[in-house]
Structure 1
């Protein structure tokens, strides 16, 4: 469970840097999100509590006063701590310059987490953005400015980790499974077919996967398909039946059922509701 507020806008014709989405979440113990694949850089600032996220064969354990970046095109999963669940704000930022700015701040594929000062200032920027949900020119310009403000504040506040950040390597079978799922999730991939490719017992693979990632492998595959379809619903004009086929479901009915279980609404309602601002309680 989480209490979440978010704002999503369709990308405009901005090349250098543009606001894509932002939000705030206050999670319940063990609440998880993902697996998900993003199409822009997503920057999280942890306000309270702690949790972990999995990316690129590694688990990172973070807490209040720290942040992490999720690059586009890479499946990620994150989960709140059981005793001290985290709350965080986030902003999705795209454009040609975002990689340049992040690299200048020391953030790249080898270093995706950091310590941060002035966490309340980040919360303030995100909550200011939430007030600009209407589609008009003034709000559009304001949100683009807030994306730059967010990066400016990051440059003033970011520091290298002062304390050791706990990380843990994934089991090799799990990391290989993630690679296969990332490449072939839209096809008829299954736990059995992955286990056969890896020459390992399916039940044993499932136990390893759940221990490292936090969710069963079958659920992970389905959620990769669903979160991929989320982006297709809000950023393309493909029909629901076309999207269902594109993300690997056997039928539109099976897709709609799985989608509603994951998102709480049907694909058609999701497509309408995600354009703009809403309060979502999961």
Structure 2
């Protein structure tokens, strides 16, 4: 730990290139301030999270005032007037991380932290400390600051994930986020097909992996999508083929890119689907562009 005039112990790491737009760490640190050490009243233009490891202090933000002890985490939101102060007799020891980004407020909300409820309690701080430490140690002032920033944002996401795991009993859950088991399985099947369409997908294998007989999966899949899994797979492949035919790939390359080993069979299926051959479809696209 390095020394700081206002702290018995103090160390911090700073991000030289916090350019991730969605979520970026600005800095992170650890400290044990002197008795009665106070920050604020003030405002920040970024989010600042503190977790108390031991000792006592007081956090104030708006109408909220709370004495914090080991396991308490408080979050300062951009534009909110705040102050916090170490106890006179047992000053707290805490870790912190500053962050910004387009999805920062959304992620905090999803783990149960809002402007109106900026405090949570997690009894065991050992795992939390590990995340804070890894964030801080990401910034080694190396020749690769972008990689440091990327590493830090990854550890920050794990920190937020841990907040959510411990805090999940009070999280607001929208009904759409709690689908029936069968809906969840069908959604997984849709994602499976949408992401793996270029492979030789076996509907039987997919059904058994999801825990269903093929006939039952096909029935409920069609009820939700209007298509059987096989028909849906063909639709995904044909739609992707149409996109690829607008580029420079050969017909053979398009065929293999959408899961057909036989370009002739692909052409027959494409004609059935679109009413024209891949070459005719490509020519039509070029004429429309011209």
Give the TM-score normalised by the residue count of structure 1. 0.52
Query: Relative to total residues, which structure has the larger helix share, 1 or 2?
Result: 2
Q: Distance in 1 between matches of 2:136 and 2:118?
A: 26
Distance in 2, matches of 1:151 and 1:9, equals 19
Q: Choose the corresponding residue for 2:42, options 20, 36, 39.
A: 36
After superposition, the C-alpha distances for 1:257-277 in whole angstroms (9 at most, x for unaligned) are xxxxxxxxxxxxxxxxxxxxx
Structure 1 or 2: more strand by fraction: 1
State the SS of the aligned residue for 1:134: coil
- The superposition leaves residues 71-110 of structure 1 with CA deviations (integer Å, 9 ceiling, x where unpaired) of 0122321111122211111111211111111112222121
CA RMSD in angstroms comes to: 2.1
Instruction: Give the Cα separation in 2 of the matches to 1:60 and 1:160.
Output: 22
Q: Structure 1's 57 and 130: CA in aligned 2 closer, same or farther, altered over 3 A?
A: same
2:167 corresponds to: 158
Once the two structures are overlaid, the 10-residue window that deviates more, 61-70 or 140-149, is: 140-149
Q: Is the 8 A contact 2:57 2:87 kept in 1?
A: yes
Residue 139 of structure 1: how far off its partner (Å): 1.8
Match of 2:88 in 1: 82
Larger Rg: 1 or 2?
A: 2
**Partner SS state of residue 80, structure 2:** coil
Contact 1:114 1:160 in 2 (8 A): no
Which of 138, 141, 153 is the matching residue for 1:134? Answer: 141
The structure, 1 or 2, with the larger RCO (C-alpha pairs under 8 Å, 6+ apart) is 1
Q: 2:158 aligns with which of 149, 153, 161?
A: 149
Q: Tell me the CA shift for residue 154 of structure 1.
A: 1.6
Q: Which residue of 2 aligns with 1:56?
A: 62
Regions of 4+ moved over 6 Å: none
| Closer/same/farther in 2, CA of residues 37 and 141 from structure 1, 3 Å limit | same
Is 1:98 the counterpart of 2:107? The answer is no
Give the CA deviation at 1:160: 7.7
Q: Is the 8 A contact 2:27 2:136 kept in 1?
A: no
Task: State the alpha-carbon separation in 1 of the partners of residues 140 and 118 from structure 2.
Answer: 29
* Distance in 1 (alpha carbons) for counterparts of 2:14 and 2:121: 26
Structure 1 unaligned regions, length at least 5: 162-282
2:96 is paired with a residue whose SS is strand
Deviates more, 1:127-136 or 1:87-96: 127-136
